[in-house]
Amino acid sequence: MKFWLVRLASLLLAVGFAFGLESVVGHQFPSIYRLVVLAGLYITLSVSLNLINGITGQFSIGHAAFYMVGAYSAGFVSKALFSHQPLVPQLWMIVMALFGACCAALTGLVVGLPSLRLRGDYLAIVTLGFGEILRIVTQNIGAIGGAYGMNVKPFGSPPQALWLVWLLAILCVAVCRNLLKTAHGLPFLSVREDEVASAAMGVKVPKTKVTAFVVGSAFAGAAGALLAHAETFISPDTFKMDVSFIILTMVVLGGTGSITGSVISAIALFAIPEWLRNLQDPVTKDPIQIPGPALVASIISVVIAVALFKAVQNRFHGSKPAKFGLYLAAIAAGFVCKLAFTPILAQAPGLAAKSFEASALRMVIFAATLIILMLIRPQGIFAHHEFSWSWVAKLFRRAPKEATA
């Protein structure tokens, strides 16, 4: 009884959150409505890829392909059929999300079945190749818009898709979390850890891998279907290899296997470039300029700080607080270097005259952030850990416990 009450409450909470977000963003911040939609889609994409790569230990690097299958199949059907059927747009989008999920799952089965039965990293090559082939083929099919792309406007006005996108993200997180909370998650993890030992314990290794791949693809397909309806326009360029790599980066950066990590790094990696793109002076509204000497000094000092940080990480084996102090010192050393180098570099005649627009450097900053994070924390931000309430409770309880000890 209590179980079902909790279940009902969390369901209501999820739906309430999705609609709350829809109305808050829709009414208060319409300028970022589209970004919030995309962020929700990226959460679904990274968590679903995490099921394949992080939890089951496979190496799929073409997740955008299944996103694309969902988008195009749902978009195409929606265009052709919506006007002939009785559902309201909201319900129709749910049906289309399911349809996109089914199409992507089927595609996943066709792609995954042969490549997952083999050992080694065939999956990486196959998924990457499949994504590119699919994109190029689509570019050449006139009926679905070819290289120009396809308009998906079944409803008169653009649909309110944000709530649905975030519900999908919550569903995806819930499904993966539930899997890991029950014993059914263990064969997936054990396949990641050791296939031979798993098989010897009676785990059907190929079936487990294919299941993870198909479920992950289905979620990507549902996300694609919602994208098609939310954006009302899709083209092969929407699903370039970059998208696959961004999703992969989200998974790796968050910590392979950690759902929490995937969610947080999906939001962060999506938001950082967007934030950098719009960097402007708060008063004059001009794009922010970075003077040449400051930029070069920053690069040098970041390199120094990271090198010091790594040195502390690898060489120092003292107590935790001492190590933390040294980390802070390494970062402080970086700042000091920046301050020291900037005036020196300003003497260089060629450099002093130059300046760079911050938004133009955004991909550079983005890439540098990734490299630095991977250098100082190769296991990903969350490694294998998950957010949990007991963990939060422990944080708060720790202080008095130590006092009594």
Partner 1 sequence: MSTTGEKPVVLSLEGATIQFGGLIAVNNATFELQQGDLFGLIGPNGAGKTTCFNLITGVYKPTSGTIRFQGKEIGGLTPAKIAQMGICRTFQNIRLFPALSVVENVVVGAFLRHRTTLGSAFAYLPSSIRETSALKKEAMDLLEVMDLADVAQARSADLPYGKQRRLEIARAMATRPDLILLDEPAAGMNPQEKEDLQVTVRRIRDDFQKTVLLIEHDMRFVMGLCERIFVLDHGEEIAQGPPEKIRNDPKVIEAYLGEAV
How far, in Å, CA of 1 to CA of 296, rounded? 63
281 binds partner 1 (CB under 8 A): no
> Smaller CB distance to partner 1: residue 112 or 257?
257
Q: Residues 346-385 vs partner 1: string with x where CB under 8 A?
A: --------------------------------------x-
Least distance CB 256 / partner 1 (angstroms): 10
> Smaller CB distance to partner 1: residue 130 or 188?
188
Cβ contact 233:78 at 8 Å: no
Query: Which residues are CB-contacts of 331 (< 8 A; sequence separation ≥ 6)?
Result: 305, 309
404 binds partner 1 (CB under 8 A): no
Question: What is the total count of residues that contact partner 1 (CB under 8 A)?
Answer: 31
> Smaller CB distance to partner 1: residue 197 or 367?
197
**What number of other Cβ atoms are within 10 A of residue 93's Cβ?**
26
How far, in Å, CA of 283 to CA of 288, rounded? 11
If 0-12 CB within 10 Å is exposed, 13-18 middle and 19+ buried, where does residue 395 land? Answer: exposed
Among 89, 108, 149, 187, which residue sits at the site for partner 1 (rule: CB under 8 A)? Answer: 187
196 binds partner 1 (CB under 8 A): yes
Residues 255 to 274 in contact with partner 1, rule: CB under 8 A: 257
Least distance CB 243 / partner 1 (angstroms): 26
Among 56, 198, 235, 298, which residue sits at the site for partner 1 (rule: CB under 8 A)? Answer: 198
DSSP SS3 for 319: coil
> Smaller CB distance to partner 1: residue 10 or 278?
10
How far, in Å, CA of 106 to CA of 104, rounded? 5
Among 9, 23, 110, 204, which residue sits at the site for partner 1 (rule: CB under 8 A)? Answer: 204
- Token readout for 22 is 């829809």
Sign of the alpha-carbon dihedral angle for 111, 115, 121, 125: negative
221 binds partner 1 (CB under 8 A): no
According to DSSP, the β-strands at 150-151 and 233-234 are: antiparallel
Residues lying near partner 1 in the complex (CB under 8 A) are found at 3, 7, 174-175, 178-179, 181-187, 189-190, 192-194, 196-205, 211, 257, 384
